[in-house]
Amino acid sequence: MRLSDRDAYQNNLFRPVSMWVHVTEAMKEAFFPTRCLVCGSFFRNSRQENRNLKTLIEILSSWEQGFSGLEGFYQKTDLKKEHVEERLGTDLKIFMALMSPFICANCSGTYMAVESPICSTCGAVFESREGENHDCGECLNAPKRFKIARSAGVYDKVLMAAIHCLKYKEKIQLARPLGVLLFMAFRRYWNKENVNLIVPVPLHKRKFRSRGFNTSFLFVREWAFITKALNGSLPVVPVAEDILVRKRWTEPQTGLGRKERLQNIKNAFGVRDSSKIKGGKILLVDDVYTTGATANECAKVLMRAGAARVDVLTLARAM
């Protein structure tokens, strides 16, 4: 994108919102309070503009600048006493800010970020909260095809509910804030030298026709715009939606054991054009890491096609 194009994009993105828009939103909230997508309760949300990309980028900017500007996003909520201020770690505050137009503070307050100690390779969260990162027994016994896997949050409670709302209830409005949350994890664990291509885990064409969208792609589709808006000097990592393909239909992995998952996903993926990934450092993106069967199978296919390295980033990590 040319400099003039980038400036025009940023000018449009941060154009002041009309006063009448604010008045309309205030009246709508007064007469029609927001219903939480997780618990179904009504709550008053004074930050309706959190839905737009501009506000989400402001949250990201605050995160990068030391989280100094988040106070207004999580104050004046209906947080119950059991979710006291001491629980509101930085990651939790950010999650609540991102999800405030859709999920009440009581549900958002159950979010758990992935924190060390974790497995250095697969990112598994250890039960013991003491010690440093180290390889888990599974990774020592059966080395992975990918280099490292990392996740933003634990697949439990509100994050699990949010992913289910997006995937199975077609609450597409959640894709943008969840994508921003995933982008923050990307910036936390990788630098510009580690990745030069982002590849979402694909759906089978039959599943895509049925659902109408690929969650993994929705998470990353605006990353280029976010990167340019945050800092024009940062490199934009391209997203390749059509390189990795799902060659055959597979049953849903949910409910399957480890062996069944491995068998179900075996030889399910292929690479459409290996010349586009030869020597590349690829970041594979998916919604949930459970046993790692899908991630490992995709990494195997990408490495065989000529990739120099494959890393994995998921929104959630099963315990």
d(C-alpha 78, C-alpha 74), whole Å: 10
Burial of 104 (0-12, 13-18, 19+ CB in 10 A): buried
What pLDDT shows up at residue 234?
Answer: 72
What pLDDT shows up at residue 182?
Answer: 97
The Cα angle at residue 199 between residues 271 and 180, in degrees rounded to 5: 165
- Of 55 and 277, which is predicted with more confidence? 277
Lowest model confidence (mean pLDDT) among 77-86, 145-154, 309-318: 77-86
Query: Does the pLDDT of residue 2 top 80, yes or no?
Result: no
Structure tokens at 156: 């439990």
d(C-alpha 193, C-alpha 135), whole Å: 23
Query: Does the pLDDT of residue 317 top 50, yes or no?
Result: yes
Rounded to whole angstroms, the maximal C-alpha distance in the chain is 62
**Residue 148: which pLDDT band, with cuts at 50, 70 and 90?**
very high
d(C-alpha 66, C-alpha 110), whole Å: 23
Closest CA to 316 of 215, 213, 170: 215
What pLDDT shows up at residue 170?
Answer: 94
pLDDT digits (tens, 9 = 90+) for 65-108: 654 444 444 444 444 444 434 434 789 989 999 999 999 999 99
Average model confidence (pLDDT) for the chain?
Answer: 84
Structure tokens at 28: 């709508």
What stretches of 69-166 adopt beta strand conformation (E)?
A: 149-154
Structure tokens at 84: 């006291």
Contact between residue 44 and residue 78 where contact means Cβ atoms under 8 Å apart: yes
**Residue 48: which pLDDT band, with cuts at 50, 70 and 90?**
low
What pLDDT shows up at residue 62?
Answer: 75
- Of 119 and 1, which is predicted with more confidence? 119
Query: Does the pLDDT of residue 20 top 80, yes or no?
Result: no
Structure tokens at 311: 């890393």
- Between the CA of residue 209 and those of 45, 155, 205, 206, 313, what are the distances in Å? 35, 26, 6, 5, 25
Instruction: Give every CB contact of residue 292 below 8 A, 6+ residues apart in sequence.
Output: 122, 144, 149, 312
